Structure 1
Amino acid sequence: MEHLSSVPPRSGLVIFLNGTSSSGKSSIATELLAMLDEPYFHMPVDAFHAMRSRGDVPPDRLATVLHRTWQGYHRAVAGMAAAGNNVVMDHVLSAEWRLTDCLALFEPQDVVLVGVHCPLPELERRERERADRPPGLAARQLEQVHAHGVYDVECDTSRSDPRECALRIRDFLTARPTPTAFQRLRAAR
């Protein structure tokens, strides 16, 4: 059994997949986990929503419950990375405060911000096929999710399959340029 005192401190890397619902983030994350050399944890925001009890939340409290869930999610990812764990984060920056919160919490040099793009007609087709998302969710998210406009890596899941996107991200990791997208975004604020 390894003693904690023998574990050297380090910061973990966060591969931050940002895109609308149904854009392909989870499929890319699955491919990444299969091909990365070091251990990574896939931490999708959907998993945090799924942890919540199934009781009905009164409509006047729903926004607060969701906001706290996202805040907790950001802090959980930041905590895993601060403990030296690598994380593939699967998120939707469909509200400005989410990006602001992440910029304040994460070590900007240790984040690879990935834009996961997909055109609206394809997003709508995927939503119809999935049937586990409200119709029009991706359309409502589309304008804000990429509004910050700065990424380290971008992919279009209507043109590349999840494995091709994951390979592009993996290849980017070998020589990450600085400043990172998170460093540029933080400096701009």
Structure 2
Amino acid sequence: MAHIIFLHGASSSGKSTIAKDLQQHIEKPFWHISIDHLRDAGVLPSGRFKSGEFRWADARKPFFNGFHRSLRAYADAGNNLILEHILDTEGWLEELVDLLAEHDVFFAAVHCPLEILVQREAARGDRPAGSAKKDFETIHVGKRYDIELQSEDGTDTNVERLLAAWRTRSRSSSFAESKFA
């Protein structure tokens, strides 16, 4: 059984910053994995999507199906994961609960004030305008977490709180519910 710390929050909420710091402080080796890593490594033909030669709408579903299945493969092989992801599509939570059912998933919400999300989104320039606001309004609805973090509390505080909660082995999130059904 692998350990998975799943950081879920709006675009630009601070998931990557928390993940990087967490990876430096946790007592076991953990991979840090996200869609951004794949994009930044050139896995996707991003330029051709931007030019309109390829349609992201046609590639999105198979891309995320593969990404989600790869998470299970990494965990099944014994790799611990710090996963940052945005569950912005109906059915993804249920799909990942099923795919990762054999593993210890600690589900952490990362919250950030809307004003800060909008500022960060504009500064980054790599997200569609308005995606942070849409995420802010929708992605946490109906989800149960093992811990809820506030980005304005600072990275050090959030990582300390997350590690303390993770170490208790107490799980009550949407992922833990499936283990008791």
TM-score, normalisation: structure 2 = 0.87
CA RMSD of aligned residues (A): 2.1
Larger radius of gyration: 1
Matched residue, 2:133? 139
Matched residue, 2:18? 28
Matched residue, 1:113? 107
Matched residue, 1:168? 161
Does residue 122 (structure 1) correspond to residue 112 (structure 2)? The answer is no
Does residue 56 (structure 1) correspond to residue 52 (structure 2)? The answer is no
CA distance in 2, matches of 1:45, 1:103: 18
Q: 8 Å contact 2:110–2:150 — kept in the other structure? A: yes
Q: Which runs of 5 or more residues in structure 2 are unaligned?
A: none
Amino acid at match of 1:29: A
Does residue 88 (structure 1) correspond to residue 60 (structure 2)? The answer is no
Q: CA deviation at 1:184?
A: 1.9
Q: CA deviation at 1:177?
A: 1.4
Q: Between the two proteins, what is the percent identity of the paired residues?
A: 32
CA distance in 2, matches of 1:25, 1:179: 21
Amino acid at match of 1:54: S
Q: 8 Å contact 1:48–1:69 — kept in the other structure? A: no
Q: CA deviation at 1:33?
A: 0.5
Q: CA deviation at 1:60?
A: 8.1
Query: Deviations 1:76-95 (Å, cap 9, x if unpaired)?
Result: 11111111110000100111
Aligned residues: 177
Amino acid at match of 2:46: R
Q: CA deviation at 1:143?
A: 2.5
Query: Deviations 1:132-153 (Å, cap 9, x if unpaired)?
Result: 3232111122222101230001
Distance 1:111 1:89, change over 3 A: same
For residue 17 of structure 1, the aligned residue among 2, 7, 28 is 7
Query: Deviations 1:101-135 (Å, cap 9, x if unpaired)?
Result: 11120026510000001121111111222233232
CA distance in 2, matches of 1:185, 1:81: 17
Q: CA deviation at 1:185?
A: 5.8
Matched residue, 1:6? none
Query: Deviations 1:140-176 (Å, cap 9, x if unpaired)?
Result: 2222210123000110102x11221111111112112
CA distance in 2, matches of 1:95, 1:182: 17
CA distance in 2, matches of 1:121, 1:180: 28
